[in-house]
Amino acid sequence: MKVAFIQCPAWGRDCPPYTLAYFKALLSREGFEVSIYDVNNLLYHSGGEAGKKYWDDKDYYSYWENPELLKKLIEDNEQAIDRVVREIVSGGVRVVGFTTHTTSFIISLELARRIKKADSEIVIIFGGPQCSRSQAAASLIKQPEVDYVCPGEGDIVLPELLKKLQDGFRGPHRGFLFKDKKGIVDGGDPEVPTDLDALPFPDYEPFRNDIENGRYKDSFGLGIFDSRGCITCCHFCSEWSFWKKYRTMSGKRIYEEIKYQIEKFPKVHFFYFNGSLVNGDLSVLETWCDLVIKSGMKIRWAGQLTANPSMTKSLINKMKASGCMWLGFGIESGCERVLEKMNKGYSIPGALKVLKDAHEAGISIQINIMFGMPTETREDFEKTLKFLVLARPYIDTVLASQSFCVIDKGTYLHRNPEKFGITGEDHHLFWKSNNGENNYAERFRRYEEFCDLALKLGLPETSGVLKVKPDKWFLLGQYYEHEKEFAKAAGAYKRSIDSESDNKVARENMNRCLEKAG
């Protein structure tokens, strides 16, 4: 049976999408004929220079969640999209899988509609982070073009389902949400792999031309999914709850996968670790570094990690010697009290020491910071500003969270709002705490104040550190409308139309708020 997997915009363009390459290998091993389509990269290159900013600048989340603007993107790329649909249908594909995220599910649904219209017998399966129970699993399965939704890891249950579909089966299956004429059937959470070493190496062969011609942002770079889950279980994070428990490949398995990819693609010399943290198991990290150093392998690599106080200077030097050139530390706050509320598990002095050691080893350092964690006071935030000054000698960039502090469903914050004084927790952005003082507008002010200090300290305007957030007034318009402050909302939408983007949605929102404001 022929199966196709699609990655729609918007997704990162640093390297070919790991998920597509991985499922190509997994399902080929099970005997299926698999084709993959990186529609994300296709539209990036076919849409003209003006549109590339929406991918290259990581500051346009509201663009990718705006159906009206995405409708225009689809219209401008009609030929490229129709070509993908025709190729899938004419090629005899019977099942199409979409990997989705909050920024990609709208175009994924549109492509699924077009495929179903061309051949209603093709089975459409949705998976990925947007399909988790805490995100949109329940709403996505209700879409007429979607047949199955996998709310978790599909490694085990997807091959099972495909084998049944191959024999003409059309019904519920464990690990999937399914709908028929009687309604929706929930097959429960999927079984997850526990031995990551047993998983196949991703098959990047379909991307060979794009890899060799440098059509991704990190020319000659690939991803490696070394671990799943996280060891810290931060209270604001939904990622660890999606993966259920932390699992990692062994150091030897990581080394063997990278060696295999280099042999297949001699131009490749950079690897990005896609797991939540590269230092979840320090013994695995050290083993992998030792193997690379001993082999003489010449690569560069990068990844995210926590400021684990157990990381020694010796280990960090080994990381550098093995090719580590960039690390992103999930610091999040410079206030000890807030770190405790986050369940971070490290101290400010400990974090500064790890940053200093990594900097002195010659590794480029980024820190991630968020704003307005529930219970965070103005005094707490000022400690984060002081931390930025202290950390500045050791860091090269800052990822300043443009959503400030999100409360996703399924997180500890969402499940326990009373412990943090949270109200309105069902709106991921517009919740409040601290008796209403910590609201979206206040978090926005703290974000802007942080960005202003970061720029004054000479940090580059990148990764969320901005002089002006490009969708500021549209977002504030949505916030004030949510708060039923309709005059303020209309004013914000007007400023968005004048200075950000004159589009149908902003005008409709402004007119609606003007009417409600009288």
Residue 238: per-residue pLDDT: 80
What single string gives the DSSP state of each residue in 319-353?
HHHTTEEEEEEEEE-S-HHHHHHHT----HHHHHH
Handedness of CA 303, 304, 310, 316 (dihedral sign): positive
What single string gives the DSSP state of each residue in 287-310?
HHHHHHHHHT---EEEEEE---TT
| Section 24-30 average pLDDT | 97
Omega of the bond leading into 400 within 30 degrees of 0 (cis):
no
Handedness of CA 481, 471, 503, 130 (dihedral sign): negative
**Contact present, 246 and 275 (Cβ < 8 Å):** no
Instruction: Please state which CATH number belongs to domain 2-186.
Output: 3.40.50.2300
Instruction: Please state which CATH number belongs to domain 196-470.
Output: 3.80.30.20
**Contact present, 108 and 6 (Cβ < 8 Å):** yes
**Domain boundaries of the chain, sorted by first residue:** 2-186, 196-470, 471-518
pLDDT digit string (tens) for 60-103? 777 888 888 888 889 889 999 999 999 999 999 999 999 999 88
Residue 69: per-residue pLDDT: 81
The confidence band for 226, taking pLDDT boundaries of 50, 70 and 90, is very high
pLDDT digit string (tens) for 396-441? 999 999 899 999 888 899 999 999 999 999 999 999 999 999 999 9
Output the average pLDDT for the chain. 93
Q: Which of 40-44, 54-58, 88-92, 436-440 has the lowest mean pLDDT?
A: 54-58
The confidence band for 237, taking pLDDT boundaries of 50, 70 and 90, is confident
CB atoms within 10 A of CB 417: 17
Strand-pair category, 95-99 with 33-38: unpaired
Checking if the pLDDT of 48 tops 80, the result is no
The confidence band for 273, taking pLDDT boundaries of 50, 70 and 90, is very high
Residue 232: per-residue pLDDT: 83
pLDDT digit string (tens) for 123-159? 999 999 999 988 899 999 999 999 999 999 999 999 9
Cα distance between residue 492 and residue 506, in whole Å? 10
| Section 247-271 average pLDDT | 96
Residue 59: per-residue pLDDT: 62
pTM beyond 0.85, yes or no: yes
Report which residue type is found at 422: I
